[in-house]
Structure 1
Amino acid sequence: MTTTLTRSAAAAVLDRLFAAAERDDDRPVPDLSRADARQRADALRDIYMPVSRSGGELLYALARTCRPRTVVEFGTSHGISTIFLAAAVSDNGEGHVLTTELSADKVAAAGDNLARAGLAGVVTILPGDALETLADVPGPVDLVLLDGWKELCLPVLRLLEPRLRPGALVVADDTTFASMGDYLAYVRDPANGYVTVDFPVADGMELSCFTPAA
């Protein structure tokens, strides 16, 4: 079956972006251990930091299955994961993706990539600090992707929780990173209202279903 992911425009953009992201493996990364989120965003404005292709395909399949009307993404970067989510929303025939990015350069790049993929119409990019730009996102939120700075994934989730639809799906990327420890401890504690599973794609993904007490 033909989908947006297999049509020439989106497929060509993804191929180009993944090829560019692979070249990042040979680039030196500065020591940013003392930098705040904005300083890191500015320093890494040319670095892609994408989901893996298999992780993106998983996101597409999940979004096609749960048919979200509102998708929230934390961490746009150059828009690779956003394209997978937007393709699913487009193929579902309903829904919208709200995504947030701190780097102004990446906001511009992601906007251009989404336009080239033919998916700009189903995505709104919110520029700035996610803890500010997502504070007023309207609910209910059906699907969340957390792929920004790892120490902020839990604060962003807690910010969105009051607007999560019961049964909402929350996906966190790069869960093998030590900096995701607090997040994983939170969603894996049944007292916090999640049913969760570790999914073995590159660098790990945690799939969590929001199941608040009645």
Structure 2
Amino acid sequence: MRAVLNRLYSMAERDDKGVMERAYASAAGLSAPPTPAEASALCAEALLPVDPKIGRLLHLLVRTLRPRNPVEFGASYGASAIQIAAALRDNGSGHLTTSELDGGKVRKTRENLAEAGLADLVTVLEGDARDTLGALTEPVDFILLDGWKELYLPVLKVLEPLMAPGAVIVSDNLSMLPADYLERIRDGRLGYVSLDLPLGDGVEVTTWTGIRDE
């Protein structure tokens, strides 16, 4: 597991800056903001792993909370999925479902999970998370949101009916998140309790109490 993560972080440090600079330049030439599919294509070669400290946070939270049905939006190359799945393995229970739009990244995630010895603990769904995660039926008790930022709120709304009381949501890239998403997860009337943490470029950790006061 450590060898796979070290390789992914080394590749990201070497390649991601150039890939993202080209992606931003291409997006600037579009007549409208890129759609999720267009953004996914522009960033297809970027690994975009979670910050190592956030990876450790994910592992710590899963070990502590012992979720049975964690869900991830935005697998990329699988760095965060490896951290979560390793914690599930150490817990002795639980199965991660992760979603990724880009088919090439889906293949890489599956390969990396297999190399890390964790493939049996993760289901990797290919496609738009609003559809793939929307088809889930089991209660969800842990959520990592780390995909296209404009989809955080739509994906959260898809998962809300499945969230068990006490479910924890980790929202990465806090500095980039839309205001309407942050307003929702910080709204106590909707049953949310939330805290921002200064890890990476910011991360929000939220719990849903299951008690709404609308």
Unaligned stretches of 5+ residues in structure 1: 1-9
Q: Note the residue ranges of structure 2 that are not aligned, 5 or more in a row.
A: none
Q: Alignment partner of 1:134: what SS?
A: helix
How many residues of Structure 1 are paired with residues of Structure 2 in the alignment?
204
**Residues 139 and 165 of structure 1 are in contact (CA less than 8 Å); yes or no, is this contact kept in structure 2?**
no
Distance 2:160 2:13 in 1: 34
Asked if 2 retains the 8 angstrom alpha-carbon contact of 1:139 and 1:164, the reply is: no
1:143-158 pair list within 5 angstroms: 143-158=142-157
- 1:121 matches 2:113: no
Of 13, 25, 45, the residue aligned with 2:17 is 25
Question: CA separation in 2, counterparts of 1:54 and 1:135?
Answer: 29
| Moved >4 Å (runs of 4+) | none
Match of 1:183 among 173, 181, 184: 181
Q: Which residue of 2 aligns with 1:74?
A: 73
Alignment of 1:1-214 (within 5 A): 10-23=1-14, 24-27=16-19, 28-30=21-23, 31-32=26-27, 34-177=33-176, 179-213=177-211
Identical pairs, percent: 46
After superposition, the CA RMSD in angstroms is 1.2
- TM-score normalised to the size of structure 2? 0.92
Q: What SS class does the counterpart of residue 29 from structure 1 fall into?
A: helix
Contact 1:83 1:114 in 2 (8 A): yes
Aligned-pair distance for 1:181? 2.0
Distance 2:142 2:46 in 1: 26
